[in-house]
């Protein structure tokens, strides 16, 4: 996307697991600051200062006090018959070290609960990465965690989904299909569905049938925020697939469908904006399709994004003809400014005759044309250098608001 990309009216993707020892050191170094301001009790119930010798209370039973719980968690023997440790909400090195060495996927949810409740960002980051390690490349484990996420509390839902996204199993076909199924399941609340669909951004590609289902959902007026998230996910996968294969056409076709048929303006805007982020070249059919949008789209913001997209057309003459016709019919100053400047991005110096005619139609662009003509005459050919060489990047006040 170029530096002068139009602003987005709507809103804007967990890292791969790092080696365990460095991660623990980072997490616990920060937790040490937390522990420094808290007393980690080491005395028993009788107040004599002797460590508590009783075993950890069973899961679900409330500890008599946080100090006794911390001492018991630190000193209880580890064995296969041991019940879930009762980690103190006041975390410390020994708690996390013991958790790291003994937790399994089967015990993760129960054991992670008190640590998650601490709300310490470094501890939560550690839990996400530890869960990703436990899942690994096993798609069966990833599917199990997704089943947990369906009914999890909001805080735990975020943790579980981050663990799945950070695991190599995320890219397995069964996991991708389950995410789509959960995201499109009408029995699941729409906010949680958005969370499942948002995770699709990590995928390297979408199968044609999956892309079709997601497109149908994204353009549905009832999809709400989940439709916006789905549109963004399609665009992000397109970008990754384009980098690997050089082919963005299946995704562009669906994004343009969303951009044309959705009744939600932010969704239409985003669908067309994703092309800008991918910088995918446009063939003749896509160029013509976008040209028609300039004539039919009611939103001035969206028309500006369309003008930007068209600057990626492979056929320079075709796009300059579209720009010229649209400029003559356009009445909004900011949309005209987009058509004018992106003509230079699309065709470079060859766009000067078209831009000169635009400046004749609308004298407000005379000074802009003279500045651009002078920069090209100096030998500059790169659009970014032309753009930053202008006296102002916002000569018509279009970056913050739109004038008619």
Angle between helix 93-102 and 66-75 (nearest 10): 50
Residue 204, pLDDT > 70, answer yes
Which distant-in-sequence residues (6+ apart) come within 8 Å of 243 by Cβ? none
Q: Which helix (H) or strand (E) holds 313?
A: none
pLDDT, average across residues 373-402: 89
Structure tokens at 266: 């932010």
In terms of C-beta density within 10 A (0-12 exposed, 13-18 middle, 19 or more buried), how is residue 182 classed?
buried
Residue 90's pLDDT band, with cuts at 50, 70 and 90, is low
Residue 281, pLDDT > 80, answer yes
Q: What is the mean pLDDT of the chain?
A: 81
pLDDT digits (tens, 9 = 90+) for 226-247: 999 999 999 999 999 999 998 8
pLDDT, average across residues 121-135: 93
- Where is pLDDT greater, at 182 or 73? 182
Q: How many CA atoms does the CB half-sphere of 166 hold within 13 Å?
A: 21
Residue 102's pLDDT band, with cuts at 50, 70 and 90, is confident
């Amino acid at each position: 996307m170029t530096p002068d990309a139009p602003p987005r009216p709507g809103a804007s993707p967990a890292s791969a697991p790092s080696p365990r020892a460095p991660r623990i050191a980072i997490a616990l170094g920060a937790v040490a600051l937390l522990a420094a301001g808290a007393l980690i009790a080491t005395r028993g119930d009788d107040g004599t200062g002797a460590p508590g010798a009783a075993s950890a209370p069973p899961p679900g039973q409330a500890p008599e006090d946080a100090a006794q719980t911390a001492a018991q968690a630190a000193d209880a023997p580890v064995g296969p018959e041991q019940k879930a440790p009762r980690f103190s909400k006041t975390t410390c090195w020994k708690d996390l070290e013991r958790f790291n060495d003994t937790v399994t996927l089967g015990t993760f949810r129960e054991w992670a609960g008190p640590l998650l409740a601490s709300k310490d960002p470094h501890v939560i980051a550690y839990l996400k990465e530890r869960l990703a390690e436990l899942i690994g490349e096993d798609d069966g484990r990833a599917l199990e965690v997704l089943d947990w996420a369906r009914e999890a509390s909001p805080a735990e839902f975020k943790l579980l989904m981050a663990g799945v996204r950070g695991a190599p199993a995320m890219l397995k076909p069964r996991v991708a299909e389950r995410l789509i199924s959960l995201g499109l399941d009408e029995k699941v609340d729409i906010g949680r569905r958005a969370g499942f669909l948002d995770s699709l951004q990590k995928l390297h590609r979408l199968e044609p049938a999956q892309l079709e289902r997601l497109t149908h959902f994204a353009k549905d007026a009832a999809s709400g925020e989940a439709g916006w998230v789905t549109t963004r996910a399609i665009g992000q996968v397109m970008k990754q697939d384009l980098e690997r294969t050089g082919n963005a056409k299946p995704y562009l076709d669906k994004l343009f469908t969303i951009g044309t048929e959705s009744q939600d303006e932010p969704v239409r805007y985003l669908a067309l904006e994703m092309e800008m982020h991918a910088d995918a070249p446009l063939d003749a059919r896509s160029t013509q399709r976008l040209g028609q949008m300039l004539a039919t789209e009611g939103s001035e913001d969206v028309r500006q994004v369309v003008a930007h997209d068209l600057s990626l057309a492979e056929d320079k003459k075709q796009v300059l003809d579209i720009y010229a016709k649209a400029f003559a019919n356009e009445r909004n100053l900011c949309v005209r400014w987009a058509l004018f400047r992106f003509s230079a991005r699309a065709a470079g110096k060859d766009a000067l005759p078209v831009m000169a005619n635009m400046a004749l139609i609308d004298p407000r662009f005379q000074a802009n044309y003279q500045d651009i003509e002078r920069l090209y005459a100096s030998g500059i050919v790169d659009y970014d250098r032309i753009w930053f060489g202008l006296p102002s990047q916002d000569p018509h006040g279009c970056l913050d608001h739109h004038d008619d």
